């Protein structure tokens, strides 16, 4: 195995568990788009040129040329709108849920023209659809901020914020919302003119004693002169979802900017959890970065 594809930060040779992408059909467009962050490895002794595509029932996948990767190294790539398919209907999800699989295919070539194929690596990924408004689910927590308060959420600096200036800071706002009139905005600002800013927004919950528990987060990131490098969803210190790439000082947004994204994560039942949203920005001129949260839900069913 001289190339490899992973969906987590777990390093080889440790085994990576089977991965599942969770999706909620509520208010999604038709067709629906699928994006993900992947990590690819060159275990060969020569530089390779990588290409990724996929397949799955009803899906249309793009083919992305990833460029060269030196021997013995790895890289992350966020594949925004990598695939599409017709949106499942509520009737397609009996009892509010449905499982399917997709196959990701990574290829390694020895030339920049992608003509001399040397390695192929396939990876099966689960896709678990839910319908969060199906009667089988109970809505245990709903934070839509429409009462004009932060509803128990808090924020803290993880690295680089201008804490003396009051950053990071939470505000209930009207500039970008999914359900009117308010959403929750986390404002970040670097303590120096340029540099790394990493901010955590968080809240603790006690999950219901049900067999299946999901948190649903609708999120948006932005900042006119800042670039968003990555976004992580955690339960305490445990990483659940990572989107983007590791921090650098380039001008490229590795997490899709200025658009709403829905992220669904499973949670353990009948326990105390701390849902953490961690966003890392590169600030290249003085000013603020921001992230927005709206219509946060925890739902459950037996």
Q: What is the pLDDT of residues 150-175, one digit of tens each?
A: 999 999 999 999 999 999 999 999 99
Q: Which fold is adopted by the domain 138-301?
A: Jelly Rolls (2.60.120)
pLDDT of 225 over the 70 cut = no
Domain ranges of the chain: 3-130, 138-301
Residue 232: the pLDDT is: 96
Identify the CATH assignment for 3-130 out of 2.30.40.10, 3.40.190.10, 2.60.40.2550, 1.10.3720.10: 2.60.40.2550
Task: Give the list of residues 6+ apart from residue 102 with CB closer than 8 angstroms, or none.
Answer: 34, 54, 55, 56, 59, 83, 124, 125, 127
Task: Give the list of residues 6+ apart from residue 237 with CB closer than 8 angstroms, or none.
Answer: none
- CA 177 to chain CA centroid, nearest Å: 19
pLDDT of 21 over the 90 cut = yes
Give pLDDT tens digits for 106-152.
999 999 999 999 999 999 999 999 999 999 999 999 999 999 999 99
pLDDT of 284 over the 90 cut = no
Q: Could you tell me which residue, 67 or 9, shows the higher pLDDT? A: 67
Task: Identify whether the C-beta of residue 48 lies closer than 8 Å to the C-beta of residue 153.
Answer: no
Residue 65: the pLDDT is: 98
Span 297-301, mean pLDDT? 98
- pLDDT grade for 85, boundaries at 50, 70 and 90: very high
- pLDDT grade for 83, boundaries at 50, 70 and 90: very high
Give pLDDT tens digits for 237-259.
999 999 999 999 988 889 988 89
Residue 33: the pLDDT is: 95
- pLDDT grade for 287, boundaries at 50, 70 and 90: confident
Cα–Cα distance, 67 to 75 (Å, whole number):
11
User: What size, in residues, is the chain?
Assistant: 302
Task: Identify whether the C-beta of residue 183 lies closer than 8 Å to the C-beta of residue 219.
Answer: no
- pLDDT grade for 1, boundaries at 50, 70 and 90: low
pTM over 0.75: yes
Task: Give the list of residues 6+ apart from residue 247 with CB closer than 8 angstroms, or none.
Answer: 196, 229, 230, 280, 282
**Averaged pLDDT of the chain:** 95
Query: Quick check: do 3-130 and 138-301 share a fold?
Result: no
- pLDDT grade for 285, boundaries at 50, 70 and 90: confident
Residue 224: the pLDDT is: 61
Give pLDDT tens digits for 185-223.
999 999 998 899 999 999 999 999 999 999 999 999 986
């Amino acid at each position: 195995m001289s190339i490899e594809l992973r969906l987590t930060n777990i390093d080889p040779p440790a085994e990576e568990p089977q991965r599942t992408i969770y999706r909620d059909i509520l208010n999604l467009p038709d067709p629906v788009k699928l994006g993900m962050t992947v990590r690819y490895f060159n275990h060969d002794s020569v530089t390779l040129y990588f290409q990724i595509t996929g397949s799955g029932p009803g899906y249309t996948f793009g083919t992305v040329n990833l460029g060269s990767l030196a021997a013995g190294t790895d890289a992350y790539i966020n594949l925004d709108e990598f695939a599409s398919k017709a949106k499942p209907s509520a009737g397609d999800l009996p009892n509010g849920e449905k499982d399917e699989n997709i196959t990701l295919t990574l290829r390694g070539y020895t030339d920049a023209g992608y003509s001399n194929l040397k390695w192929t690596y396939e990876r099966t990924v689960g896709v678990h659809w839910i319908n969060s408004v199906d009667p089988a689910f109970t809505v245990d927590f709903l934070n839509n901020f429409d009462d004009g308060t932060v509803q128990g959420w808090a924020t803290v600096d993880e690295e680089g914020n201008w804490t003396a200036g009051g950053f990071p800071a939470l505000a209930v706002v009207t500039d970008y919302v999914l359900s009117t009139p308010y959403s929750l905005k986390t404002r970040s600002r670097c303590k120096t003119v340029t540099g790394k800013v990493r901010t955590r927004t968080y809240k603790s919950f006690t999950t219901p004693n049900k067999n299946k528990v999901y948190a649903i987060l609708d999120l948006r990131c932005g900042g006119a002169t800042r670039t968003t490098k990555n976004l992580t969803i955690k339960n305490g210190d445990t990483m659940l979802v990572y989107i983007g790439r590791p921090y650098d000082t380039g001008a490229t947004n590795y997490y899709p900017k200025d658009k709403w994204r829905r992220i669904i994560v499973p949670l353990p039942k009948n326990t105390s959890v701390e849902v953490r949203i961690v966003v890392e920005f590169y600030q290249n001129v003085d000013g603020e970065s921001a992230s927005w949260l709206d219509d946060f839900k925890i739902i459950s069913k037996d």
